[in-house]
Amino acid sequence: MRTSGPNTLDPVQGSTQYDNRACSMVYQTLLQYRYLKRPVELVPLLLAEMPEVSDGGRRYRFRLRNDVYFHDHPCFPSGKGRKLVADDVFYSFKRLADNGNLPKAWWLLKETIVGFDEYRAEQNEVEEFDYDAPVEGMKRINDYEFEILLKQPFYRFTYVLAMFQTAVVPREAVEYYGPRFSRHPVGTGAFVFDRWDIGSQITYRRNPNYWEEYYPEDPGLNKDGSEPYPGYQEDKEMGFYVDAGKRLPLVDRVDLEFFVQAQPKWLKFRKKEVDYTIVPAENFEEAYIKRTVRLKQEFADEGVRSHAEPLLDMIYMGFNMEDPVFGGYDEKRKWLRQAIALAVDWQEWNETFYNGLNIIYDGPIPPGLEGHPQDHSLPQAYRGPDLQRARQLLEKAGYPNGEGLPKLEFYVSRGERNPEVSEMTTRNLARIGVRLDVRLVDFSTLMDAVRNKRAPAFSFAWGSDYPDAENNLQLFYGPNRSPSSNNFNYDRPEYNVLYEQARVMPPSPERTKLYEQMRDMVVEDVPVIGSMARTRYYLIHDRLRNFKPTEDFFNWPKYLNVKQP
């Protein structure tokens, strides 16, 4: 893990990729993504089959597996984990509505389930949150069957059921630990939490009572000889189906190590002390021939294999739109942000820190999703560097050559290349007279400053939670303002109306047109500068089997195996 560790092991408090990775080892969701298959496909996990959908896409009927048990733990009578039942699903969803839990992802279910918003408002007004109070749109049929009634059809709803924030937790464990639950996870997953060495690693061990889940069977070629999914033949040849049909998990222990800096991780990989690594940019030409992006023979001779994984990625610099100087929607403050955007040299950033391998694009929608601009660019975008135009806009904003403009406080995580990135950004903006006050902080402090609206400007990356641009566009939906997912605190009424129309629509040209309109509003108002999308380059030692890297989901350690010496 490329950080000092997750912020929490409580799913409702989690929001980052790091929280996701750590939680997904222990907790499970109703749905998951089929392993190995690309593009991704949702399949049942805690459910016996995919939900039955009726009433025009509003009513979902679910049937749980009846062989799933929570981990053995002292919170249960005699320490034996009990069976998962429908009430556990409702309890876990309701935890997202309880402000006392400091939930980060209420936006996932907000204005979605009939009566749920009213339940949330009512319960957060009383002294004690009542988890037993009914919600109109949540109907228990029996211990293993239940229904959820939506206010209107939501295309993203099934994706939400695969997100770690909606994972199922036992009430007994939450009440047993109280506020300490975020450090003592109890779930139904393939691995059981063992220990957390703060700043170093988390250790998980095999769940001895894990229900019967199996490694994917080899689907074979279709009757017409075609592949069942793109890349199947390559997966077959690389041995990804050697463990087909074996019961999960395949290993006894997983150590999830933390590395704030890239070099210690790289050195450990080279010494074969970790099984895989993301290739640091500064070591890229050590491992690859840059011109062809081919792995060097010396690495192949060591049994190292390479995997390139394009990400649904948005690397950006953002503004707090509630900041009195750099936020706001009037022309002058908009010109100010546009000027700053035109001073940032994304190509220099890409070449210096990513070997020129990233896709630079305009707007908030990553490559591969509906609404992404053709050829990655928009003629009306404020993509730098264009220093002459930047200076003109800065003068129109009332700050000729930056005169009279206070320093822009810029919060960024201190990990990996970010100190150097901050220096480059400082230099870029200095060319038009804008001064940065860089605040290099650890990732948890960065997130706290952003969520509490203390950061006028900030930078990090957003990886899409599911393969639909709605996930990126909700980042700018006004009601999702901090501490929810809208870290920019962007709140434009016209945008909100378009988003509310689009989010209930299935994929269609009409929906794509709305996506493009929202994209263009964001480009014009500049609450965000960017973006870039990475292709992640992984190196994997021969000892590790079945690892097909993905950052679309993080429950894949249960499929991994290691060759015995």
- Is 408 inside any structural domain? yes
Which of the two residues, 68 and 418, has the higher pLDDT score?
68
Check whether residue 168 and residue 23 sit in a common domain.
yes
Final residue of a domain: which of 161, 176, 191? 176
The answer on pLDDT for 417 being more than 90 is no
What's the pTM value of the predicted model, to 2 decimals?
0.87
| Confidence class for position 385, pLDDT limits 50, 70, 90 | very high
The answer on pLDDT for 565 being more than 80 is no
Tokens describing residue 419: 């100190």
Over residues 48-69, mean pLDDT: 97
CA 112 to chain centre: 21
Tokens describing residue 215: 């490694």
- Is 283 inside any structural domain? no
| Confidence class for position 197, pLDDT limits 50, 70, 90 | very high
The answer on pLDDT for 416 being more than 80 is no
Residue pair 209/71 in contact (Cβ under 8 Å)? The answer is yes
- Is 206 inside any structural domain? no
Q: How many structural domains is the chain composed of? A: 2
What's residue 340's pLDDT? 97
What's residue 443's pLDDT? 82
What's residue 261's pLDDT? 85
Over residues 52-77, mean pLDDT: 97
Residue pair 315/413 in contact (Cβ under 8 Å)? The answer is no
What's residue 418's pLDDT? 84
Q: What is the pLDDT of residues 422-460, one digit of tens each?
A: 999 999 999 999 999 999 998 888 989 999 999 999 998
Instruction: List the end-to-end C-alpha distance of the chain, in Å, as a whole number.
Output: 26
- Is 213 inside any structural domain? no
The answer on pLDDT for 376 being more than 80 is yes
CATH assignment of the domain containing 396? 3.10.105.10
Residue pair 74/216 in contact (Cβ under 8 Å)? The answer is no
The region that residue 291 occupies, defined by phi over 0 for left and psi between -120 and 50 for alpha, beta otherwise, is: alpha
pLDDT, mean over the chain: 95
Q: With pLDDT > 70 as the criterion, what percentage of the chain qualifies?
A: 100
Final residue of a domain: which of 129, 153, 176? 176
For residue 358, report the phi and psi dihedrals to the nearest 5 degrees: -75, 160
For residue 402, report the phi and psi dihedrals to the nearest 5 degrees: 80, 5
Which is it for the CA torsion 499, 472, 434, 377, positive or negative?
negative
Final residue of a domain: which of 138, 155, 176? 176
Other beta carbons within 10 angstroms of residue 520's beta carbon come to 17
CATH assignment of the domain containing 146? 3.40.190.10
Q: What is the pLDDT of residues 71-107, one digit of tens each?
A: 999 999 999 999 999 999 999 999 999 999 999 999 9
Q: What is the pLDDT of residues 229-274, one digit of tens each?
A: 999 999 999 999 999 999 999 999 999 999 988 889 999 999 999 9
CA 487 to chain centre: 14
The answer on pLDDT for 530 being more than 90 is no
- Is 250 inside any structural domain? no
- Is 337 inside any structural domain? yes
| Confidence class for position 281, pLDDT limits 50, 70, 90 | confident
- Is 117 inside any structural domain? yes
What's residue 436's pLDDT? 95
What is the chain's alpha carbon radius of gyration, rounded to the nearest angstrom? 24
- Report d(CA 304, CA 83) in Å as an integer: 42
Q: What is the pLDDT of residues 469-506, one digit of tens each?
A: 999 999 999 999 998 889 999 999 999 999 999 998 98
The answer on pLDDT for 134 being more than 90 is yes
The answer on pLDDT for 412 being more than 90 is yes
- Is 205 inside any structural domain? no
Residue pair 471/464 in contact (Cβ under 8 Å)? The answer is yes
- Report d(CA 416, CA 261) in Å as an integer: 5
Residue 365 belongs to domain spanning: 313-533
What's residue 10's pLDDT? 98
What's residue 433's pLDDT? 96
Which of the two residues, 525 and 419, has the higher pLDDT score?
525
